[in-house]
Amino acid sequence: NVSKTYRLGKMTVPVLHEINLRVLPGQIIAVTGPSGSGKSTLMNIIGLLDRPSEGELYLDDQQINLNMSDNKLADLRSKRIGFVFQTFNLLPSLDALQNVLMPTTYSRPAKNEKQRAKDLLDQVGLGRRMKHRPNALSGGEKQRVAIARALINNPEVILADEPTGNLDSKSGQEIIEILLKLQNEGKTVVIITHDEKIAKRCQKTYRLLDGRISGEEQ
């Protein structure tokens, strides 16, 4: 029953209305809808980047205390959720390996982190691009770095907001194959997309329209 209203001065902008959505562990689901329908707002709320105005969130059947501090919320987020964005959001001054290691600075550093980052880059096919900075990588390669980064803290959930939106169709296809493979390996994956072909490959699709769920397909 999640709603979200932004306040801009005296204006209120209602964006999400009583959204009910459930993702089972290990599922891959799609959220589709026209531009402005509230997809990114919903993803930010599911991903604990933003708080709902009304409603409840559960992770593993445990209700999330939405009054916890920003730091505690960030801690929970960095351990349990990995993000992939349309615009990649890599740091331009860091090479691929350093970008993948970025999220580790927010949680307790584990042993062999660097090796793990290298293994993840290998897994996404970028073993030979570790020292490349983002501007020396293609769009598809940047997104693969972003996926490796999303995996570094071994989260159970991957949230991808239009991960293929800035890619040509071949690179986009490769990114979707990687996300499907992650689900196959046990991750829970939520893909926000405009692309019906991508939605069709997911187990379930939620359609958003004007901040409401207008349809749900298995």
Binding positions for ligand ADP, rule: CB under 6 A: 6, 8, 13, 15, 33, 35-41
- Are 145 and 96 within 8 A, CB to CB? yes
164 binds Mg ion (CB under 5 A): no
Q: Binding Mg ion by CB under 5 A: which of 2, 33, 37, 40?
A: 40
List the single partner that 6 binds among Mg ion, ligand ADP, none, CB under 5 to 8 Å by kind. Answer: ligand ADP
For 146-163, the DSSP string reads HHHHHHTT--SEEEEEST
- The least distance separating ligand ADP from the CB of residue 37, rounded to whole angstroms, comes to 4
Tokens of 120: 């993840």
| Comparison of 101 and 159: residue with beta carbon closer to Mg ion | 159
Q: Which residue is nearest to Mg ion (CB)?
A: 40
The dihedral built from the CA positions of residue 67, 70, 73 and 75, taken in this order, carries a sign that is negative
| Comparison of 15 and 96: residue with beta carbon closer to ligand ADP | 15
Residue ranges binding Mg ion (CB under 5 A): 39-40
